[in-house]
Amino acid sequence: MLDLTLFGGAYRRTRVLVTGHTGFKGSWLTHWLTRLGAEVSGLALPPETTPNHHDLLPLALPDALHDICEANAVSEVVARCKPAIVFHLAAQPLVRRSYAQPLATWATNVMGTAHVLEATRHCPDVRAVVCVTTDKCYENRNDRRAYRETDRLGGHDPYSASKAAAELVVASYRVAYAHPHAPLIASARAGNVIGGGDWSDDRLIPDAVRAVTAGQPLDIRFPEATRPWQHVLESLSGYLALGQRLLEGDRTAADAWNFGPAPESTASVADVLARLQQQWPELRWQVPATVHPHEAHALALDSSRAHEALGWQPVWTLDESLTRTAHWYRQYLDTGTVATDDDLARYVGQAAERHVRWTRA
């Protein structure tokens, strides 16, 4: 059993609702919460892919398979679960899909978020809500400057714009319905998350795994595009640290927060693939002569506020994150077993060794 004193024991025997728990990040978060002793429920659509991380764990918890676009269903689930805290991760998360399905993207990411917040507003048991958006919610000028929480929101593609709009929904609910007994609401913006168990389309690592498995070269769109790469456990540790503060009633935490990697983990796609090739020598890639929809070429996050105010810090370097990710997939492909618990134990252990604190002294 992992050390349950992490995060001040805030999640032990605490009722938690995770939306999007069948997805990549949601399944990792749900697993970590159960290891922290939380009483977890889930609200999401069925997993999109086979295989998927949710089913491989497997997660034995009460779950409701509904679309967050269904306002009545969301309200019924929240009223039934009576969570003390909600982690809202359910979303349409893919940039290129947003070009093909803009209305569905807006409906899910904006109105879906509003449905969750409206349901929590009418549930007296809810004390805290953490809404997960994205690093792409900022108006990106491709100037290679690391974005801070006070920077302007915006987005060129429907996905980014919808996430910026979701941030406005969160801010509106935080202010418009503020009263002494209202839930404390925060938003969390992480970087490009990697880790074992992701089989989504149009993501670098899953695409690389599929290419290696098929013995084919990987097609990449923008090899020089830079992103803030981080292991999934890095972002989740930030969400959990933020949730702890909200559960403690810290009103200063009810705000927007960046949880990005160390600056040296912001790297180009080509650099990430070159490092990944050290783990998978059989990995090859190419750049087809194809016109692609617009995507930001440079993106970085400034997480200094989370470092200073929440005591949150990244634990793994980019190389460590890629090594663990490659090992997770290699173990699954070779044995059919998953290294999720091993990764979680290593991450928590290394955080302790480096004296990283996710709770107040």
Residue 22 has pLDDT above 70, yes or no: yes
Return the residue matching tokens 């460590």: 320
β-sheet bridge partners, residue 285: 218
- CA dist., res. 85 & res. 130, Å (int): 8
Residue 361 has pLDDT above 80, yes or no: no
Evaluate whether residue 101 is within a structural domain: yes
Residue 221 has pLDDT above 60, yes or no: yes
Whole-number pLDDT of residue 327:
97
Evaluate whether residue 285 is within a structural domain: no
Evaluate whether residue 136 is within a structural domain: yes
Evaluate whether residue 116 is within a structural domain: yes
User: Pick from 216, 247, 235, 224: which is nearest to 93 by CA?
Assistant: 235
- CA dist., res. 125 & res. 183, Å (int): 9
Residue 315 to residues 219, 344, 356, Cα–Cα distance (Å): 31, 12, 8
Evaluate whether residue 208 is within a structural domain: no
Q: Tokens standing for 274?
A: 């070159």
Evaluate whether residue 279 is within a structural domain: no
User: Could you give the number of structural domains in the chain?
Assistant: 1
Lowest mean pLDDT among 54-58, 141-145, 228-232, 242-246: 141-145
Whole-number pLDDT of residue 354:
73
Name the CA radius of gyration of the chain, rounded: 19
Evaluate whether residue 77 is within a structural domain: yes
- CA dist., res. 287 & res. 187, Å (int): 36
Residue 294 has pLDDT above 60, yes or no: no
**What mean pLDDT value characterizes the chain?**
93
Q: What is the dihedral of CA 226, 24, 31, 68, to 10 degrees?
A: 120
Evaluate whether residue 199 is within a structural domain: no
CATH of the domain at 304: 3.40.50.720
Give the mean model confidence (pLDDT) for residues 309-326: 95
Question: Which residue has better confidence, 298 or 70?
Answer: 70
pTM of structure: 0.95
Question: Which residue has better confidence, 330 or 63?
Answer: 330
Give the mean model confidence (pLDDT) for residues 117-129: 98
Q: Tens digit of pLDDT for each residue in 32-59? A: 999 999 999 999 999 999 999 999 998 8
User: Pick from 156, 312, 314: which is nearest to 228 by CA?
Assistant: 314
Range of the structural domain that residue 175 is part of? 11-193+229-262+298-316
